[in-house]
């Protein structure tokens, strides 16, 4: 299970110092404060020094975005989209370097960061195509010599707050549809992973994105995120993060009548029935629970299995989890990287302790790794709980770490009830060979996503992504639905009759 990290970091180059991007220029923060971006596998490895900005930097960024909006909104959408096509080609050439940058700052293994960069590339191509498909519609008027149509118009300056677990894919979901629609943006990347967002935007700049269309302000949620949400010239907010923070952001946005897209937490379950392919299921559970070290809103946090397969499945999952190699994500042989920071490890430790007190049994794992090659990183063993009851906290609350709870159910109906019992509703899955039961699950599982014979993670760029209940507020990212958020519908009437026509009154005048 152990992969030793690099021991000798005595020869180090001075870390690069980065700046905010405001109005197309790289500028120092007005606060003069900075913070280090370090490798969670080895905190001695400093990726760079980034600004710790404040409201004055946000003010400058919003002003630049507002100015750029006046010209950017008038650029034809296919021309706006051409920038994305060119950026996609740049990203393809730099995929490996961007993946390594991401592994250093976020921790997840290279095969996953390559996927994160590829998702941004896929999103670039898909959203670029939408530049020629920002469809409105025409419809017959009820009056003669009158035309009626609906068109899309941009919202204005959009504020984005993004998380650290998908530091390039998620910013791409937000930035790209926004700019294709003619909006301009101010984005605050997560403090733990600023470089990956910068790399994405740098590719767009080199592809010809005009100054001020995208502005980056680095810093904390309190000092940068809140001012973005509250700024009167920011006309829409898109946030991905915890449900607790999302509630606060949604409330602040509502006070100014701003559209607000919230993509938040999850407590995702895989249902396993008697007829499931057990080996395929084990593959899915391992990837769903321990991919990205469990740090996904779509992570498989619960496995709800029927009695006949419960023990066999738990034993096989534990045996396979025990063999997973833990270490630096830059090591191609490693399966599970570190957690993002000390706070996340402490949260995982806390919930493992809660599970034990509630009476659940740790079948494998349950320990922080802090000795030897792990002492400078944030590592936690893949952990499998058995004997978990559905009302336990570890079965109801989001952990965001490499912990999976095995729950036993008497029937498909009970398993669906258990899956639906949490406050979240993001991703669900069922393993079965019975197509009738699969369709019942697709109908009855209350979530934004349901997989059949696949784990709870693996979004595709051309489909909508999001959830229900405490996971989201009705909007979706990705796919075609995202354009409903980043554009307003405007209805236009053209009366060429040459006389006054009064709808409803003249239409049915008797």
What amino acid positions are annotated as catalytic residues?
263, 297
Tokens of 426: 């993001």
Burial annotation 327-355 (CB, 10 A radius, 16+ → b, else e): bbbbbeebbbbbbbbeebbebbeebbeeb
Residues 157 and 63: their CA atoms lie apart, in Å, by 9
**Which of the 8 DSSP states describes residue 146?**
E
Residues 33 and 50: their CA atoms lie apart, in Å, by 9
Cβ atoms 426, 449 nearer than 8 A: yes
Return the closest-CA partner of residue 203 out of 168, 240, 231, 239: 168
- The per-residue DSSP string of 409-475 comes to ESSHHHHHHHHHTSSEESEEEEE-S-HHHHHHHHHH--SSEEEESS-S----TTS-B--EETTBSS-
DSSP run (H or E) holding 88? helix 77-93
Burial annotation 99-119 (CB, 10 A radius, 16+ → b, else e): bbbbbbbbbbbbebbbbbbbb
Q: Is 480 helix (H, G, I), strand (E, B) or coil?
A: coil
Residues 270 and 352: their CA atoms lie apart, in Å, by 20
* β-sheet bridge partners, residue 341: none
Return the closest-CA partner of residue 266 out of 169, 400, 394: 400
Tokens of 481: 């639905």
Residues 74 and 184: their CA atoms lie apart, in Å, by 12
DSSP run (H or E) holding 306? strand 300-306
* Residues constituting the chain: 510
Tokens of 375: 């002492």
Residues 208 and 24: their CA atoms lie apart, in Å, by 11
DSSP run (H or E) holding 263? strand 260-263
Q: Identify the residue whose tokens are 């650290």.
A: 164
Nearby residues of 369 by Cβ (< 8 Å), 6 or more positions away: 2, 326, 379, 380, 381
Tokens of 66: 């507002």
Return the closest-CA partner of residue 87 out of 212, 210, 215, 205: 205
Q: Identify the residue whose tokens are 């600004």.
A: 51
Decide the pairing of beta strands 234-240 and 157-161.
Answer: parallel
């Amino acid at each position: 299970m152990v992969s030793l990290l690099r021991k000798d970091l005595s020869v180090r180059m001075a870390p690069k110092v980065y700046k905010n991007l405001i109005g197309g220029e790289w500028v120092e923060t007005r606060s003069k404060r900075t913070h280090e971006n370090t490798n969670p596998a080895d905190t001695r490895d400093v990726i760079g020094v980034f600004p710790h900005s404040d409201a004055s930097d946000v003010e400058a960024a919003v002003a630049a975005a507002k100015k750029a909006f006046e010209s950017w909104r008038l650029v034809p959408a296919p021309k706006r989209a051409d920038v994305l096509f060119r950026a996609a080609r740049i990203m393809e050439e730099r995929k490996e370097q961007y993946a390594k940058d991401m592994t250093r700052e976020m921790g997840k293994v290279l095969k996953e960061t390559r996927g994160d960069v590829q998702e941004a590339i896929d999103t670039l191509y898909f959203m670029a195509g939408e530049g020629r498909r920002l469809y409105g519609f025409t419809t017959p008027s009820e009056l003669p010599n009158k035309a009626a149509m609906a068109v899309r118009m941009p919202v204005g300056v959009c504020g984005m707050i993004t998380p650290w677990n998908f530091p390039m894919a998620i910013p791409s979901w937000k930035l790209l549809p926004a700019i294709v629609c003619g909006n301009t943006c101010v984005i605050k990347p997560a403090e733990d992973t600023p470089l990956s967002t910068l790399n994405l935007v740098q590719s767009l700049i080199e592809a010809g994105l005009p100054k001020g269309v995208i502005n980056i302000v680095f810093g904390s949620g309190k000092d940068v995120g809140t001012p973005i949400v509250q700024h009167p010239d920011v006309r829409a907010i898109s946030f991905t993060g915890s449900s607790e923070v999302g509630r606060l952001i949604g409330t602040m946005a509502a006070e100014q009548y701003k559209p607000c897209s919230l993509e938040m937490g999850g407590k995702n379950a895989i249902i396993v029935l008697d007829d499931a392919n057990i080996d395929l299921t084990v593959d899915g559970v391992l990837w769903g629970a321990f991919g990205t070290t469990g740090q996904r809103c779509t992570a498989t946090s619960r496995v709800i299995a029927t009695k006949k397969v419960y023990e066999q499945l738990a034993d096989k999952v534990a045996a396979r989890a025990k063999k997973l190699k833990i270490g630096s994500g830059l090591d191609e042989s490693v399966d599970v990287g570190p957690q993002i920071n000390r706070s996340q490890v402490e949260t995982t430790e806390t919930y493992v302790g809660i599970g034990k007190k509630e009476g659940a049994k740790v079948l494998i794992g349950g320990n922080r790794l802090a000795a030897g090659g792990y002492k400078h990183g944030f590592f936690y063993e893949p952990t499998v709980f058995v004997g978990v009851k559905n009302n336990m906290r570890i079965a109801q609350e989001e952990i965001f770490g490499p912990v999976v709870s095995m729950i036993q159910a008497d029937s498909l109906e009970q398993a669906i009830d258990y899956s639906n019992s949490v406050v979240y509703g993001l991703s669900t899955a069922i393993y079965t060979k019975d197509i009738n039961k699969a369709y019942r699950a697709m109908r009855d599982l209350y979530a934004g996503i349901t997989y059949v014979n696949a784990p709870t993670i693996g979004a595709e760029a051309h489909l909508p992504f999001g959830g229900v209940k405490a996971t989201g507020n009705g909007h979706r990212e990705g796919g075609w639905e995202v354009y409903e958020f980043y554009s307003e519908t405007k209805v236009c009437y053209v009366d060429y009759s040459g006389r006054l026509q009064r709808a409803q009154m003249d239409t049915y005048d008797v």
